Amino acid sequence: MPEPTRLPVRQRRLYWTRRTSLTARILAVNIIALGLMAGSLFYLDSYRRQLVAERFKLASAEAEIAAAGLAHSSLPERARLAAQIGANQHLRLRVYGPDGVLRLDSFKVAGPSFAFADPQADPWYLNAARVLDRSMNWTLGTPPIPPYVQPAVDAAINWPELGDAARAHSTIVMERSAPDESPVITAATPIGNTGELLLTTRNAPDITQAVRDARQTLAIVLGVTLLISIQLSLFLARTIVKPLRALVRAAVRVRLGRDRAVEVPRLPERRDEIGLLARALSDMTGALRSRIDAVETFAADVAHEIKNPLASLRSALESLEKVTDDELRTKLTAIAAHDVRRIDRLVTEIAEASRIDAQLSRTPFDEVDLMTLAETLVRARAERGDAGPCTVRIEPQDAGPWVVPGDPARLERVLVNLLDNACSFSPPGGAVVLGVTRHPEHVELTVTDEGPGIPPEAREKIFDRFHSLRPDTETFGSHSGLGLAIARTIAEAHDGSLVATDRPDGKPGACLVLELPTVEEEGS
């Protein structure tokens, strides 16, 4: 069993994300962000503590002010002052003597100024709010608040804050919980130096209500935001996932090859990365189809071109066994040798044509002087006698320079093919002229001959592979029909072009024009 492919560490860390769809990921990202925002609900506990702390300060100040007023009042005035303060501030004021016995209670003097809510009589939503409060406190680990219980015998000994205030001779504030779980704040403080103690009691349901209101508002905002976020996430997922799935389906159909007419959607209305991806995939599919079609056509042409010399070779070899005439056997042997050379030439040219694109894509370009390359090539041809019955001369059209970026060996192959083609069509004694001209952005090289010329309708066909239109004087099979096709392929691989035109002077003959970009100057 083959070992599983080990992914890089960074990819292994993110491997879990590959198991979920894009829609789930988009929703998760948005909901997690909202979940973190929802955590702010718990921070409302700190808001509650701030409110309670402010009430502690207020209770301490109220108790000290009330104690100062009671210290300078007579007993009858104390009762009236306690009742008045209790009614105005919604407080319960109790005064305990040095012996801890209750001496004054504002509730007994003027009646209660507030009453605790009965949770049994509250509507269901308040009970639900209390359950939510308890769950929040439990989640946050808030210390429990002792309940407020009215002792059966109201004495100072039953209120710990009174004992602490007497010992510290300062104001002590405590919090307890009412039956409806709202805060009950008590403040104990000495009254002058008489040993008497004052205990004020306030029920603060507004604190609980303020926290609940803030929590409810935040919950509503988060809920609405969550719904909007989910809708936007689904919309975003659809705009991303739907076109991607369409591209996947089209790519699968293209891969299966069941429908040659399948079109990869280009999504022209989209200007984002998915639109760019769709158009890139569509262009890639078109290029692949063109390449496949070209390969299939090329393979068919190769089979056809090789089949003819093979048939001739087989016929010659089969006839050799039956022929006894030495002269005829010599002719058959010459035919067989010619066919072998033709097949060898075809195979060499076909291999060259097949690997040009791959080789040039990996070949670093050098600076090549086309004039120097042409002069070297023409001089070597003259020394070898490859020009045949025609003459080849070079006519520079300006002072240059004629430097282009490219592969010297491949560009030499282009010139060889162009000169071979021109010489094969030139009459005996004809002249082949090679001209070089520099333009601002390219170098132009022309090869003109004095042959019959090329009809306008055939000027593109001559660059087709295995083009068979050859001069009548040429021996059959001397050329593979790939020379000009290879030359154009090399020119286009150098970001150039190769076309056929009439001679610029109007005389009979053909003119092949090669254009190659110039070397970019530094700082341009």
**Residue 89: what pLDDT?**
92
Query: How many Cβ atoms are within 10 Å of 524's Cβ, its own excluded?
Result: 4
Please tell me the distance from the alpha carbon of residue 467 to that of residue 483, in angstroms, as a whole number: 9
Q: What band does 513 get if pLDDT is binned at 50, 70 and 90?
A: very high
Q: Which two tokens stand for residue 73?
A: 């009042």
Q: What band does 21 get if pLDDT is binned at 50, 70 and 90?
A: low
Which of 444, 447, 443 shows the shortest CA–CA distance to 433?
A: 447
| CATH class (in words) of the domain with range 365-524 | alpha beta
Interstrand relation of 366-369 and 431-438 (parallel, antiparallel or unpaired): unpaired
- Of 471 and 350, more confident: 350
Q: Which residues of 78-106 are buried (b: 16+ CB within 10 A; e: fewer)?
A: bbebbbebbeebebbbbbbeeebebebbb
Rg value, the chain, Cα: 51
Q: What is the CATH number of domain 263-362?
A: 1.10.287.130
Q: What band does 482 get if pLDDT is binned at 50, 70 and 90?
A: confident
Which of 209, 207, 170 shows the shortest CA–CA distance to 67?
A: 170
User: Where along the chain do the CATH 3.30.450 domains lie?
Assistant: 41-215
User: Where along the chain do the CATH 1.10.287.130 domains lie?
Assistant: 263-362
Percentage of residues in the chain having pLDDT higher than 70: 80
Mean pLDDT of the chain: 80
Please tell me the distance from the alpha carbon of residue 336 to that of residue 341, in angstroms, as a whole number: 9
* pLDDT tens digits for range 282-335: 888 777 777 777 666 666 666 666 776 777 777 777 777 777 777 877 887 887
Query: Which DSSP string corresponds to 448-517?
Result: E-SSS---GGGTTGGGSTT-----TTSPTTS--S-HHHHHHHHHHHTT-EEEEEE-TT--SSEEEEEEEE
User: Where along the chain do the CATH 3.30.565.10 domains lie?
Assistant: 365-524
41-215, CATH topology level: Beta-Lactamase (3.30.450)
* pLDDT tens digits for range 357-407: 656 666 788 899 988 998 888 888 887 776 667 888 888 888 878 899 988
Q: Mean of the pLDDT values across residues 224-235?
A: 78
pTM for this model (two decimals): 0.47
Which of 491, 494, 465 shows the shortest CA–CA distance to 295?
A: 465
Q: Mean of the pLDDT values across residues 87-111?
A: 93
- Report the run of H or E that residue 395 belongs to, with start and end: strand 391-396
**Residue 507: what pLDDT?**
84
**Residue 15: what pLDDT?**
45
* pLDDT tens digits for range 161-213: 999 999 999 999 999 999 988 999 999 999 988 899 999 999 999 988 888 88
Residue 484 contacts residue 462 (beta carbons within 8 Å): yes
- Of 305 and 429, more confident: 429
* pLDDT tens digits for range 68-79: 999 988 888 999
